[in-house]
Amino acid sequence: MPRGANVHRDEIPPGTLYLLILKTLARLGEMHGYEIANSIQRVSDDVLQVEEGSLYPALQRMLIKGWVTAKWGTTAGNRRARYYRLTSAGRKQLTLEMSQFERVIGAVTRVIEAV
């Protein structure tokens, strides 16, 4: 595939990866890593691009925090995959991260508009 054909993709702003994963899982329920990556891309119209692999360390951290749980299942293509699901702690975290995110974005917007 010729590389030039790609639309320009932006790196995810640091720290928002959790938010994106949490939001995705909240919207769509149980998913495995590949689906999460695809979903983030699709929803953001291919603008936001995760370095796909970095999902996994993030998911590990979220497992430690107890925001998500994981369990092995089979995909539609009958392959074994690990499915992640939001916990109630994860839902709380999502609300928290959302409000934080909005506060920051709001502030940034105000700064930009003031110029």
The CA angle 66-32-95, to the nearest 5 degrees, is 45
32 binds other proteins (CB under 8 A): yes
Query: For residue 63, how far is the Cα from the chain centroid?
Result: 14
Can you tell me the distance from the alpha carbon of 75 to that of 66, in angstroms, rounded to the nearest whole number? 24
CB of 111 to other proteins, least distance (A): 33
Asked whether position 8 contacts other proteins by CB under 8 A, the answer is: no
15 binds other proteins (CB under 8 A): no
Q: Give yes or no for residue 37 binding other proteins (CB under 8 A).
A: yes
CB of 48 to other proteins, least distance (A): 13
If one asks whether residue 74 binds other proteins (CB under 8 A), the answer comes out as no
Return the residue of 10, 42, 60, 107 that touches other proteins, per CB under 8 A. 60
Q: What are the angstrom distances between the C-alpha of 18 and each of 41, 65, 82, 85, 87?
A: 15, 11, 18, 13, 14
Choosing from 26, 43, 48, 63, the residue that interacts with other proteins (CB under 8 A) is 63
Question: Do residues 50 and 34 lie in contact, with contact meaning Cβ atoms separated by under 8 Å?
Answer: no
Rounded least distance, CB 21 to other proteins, Å: 14
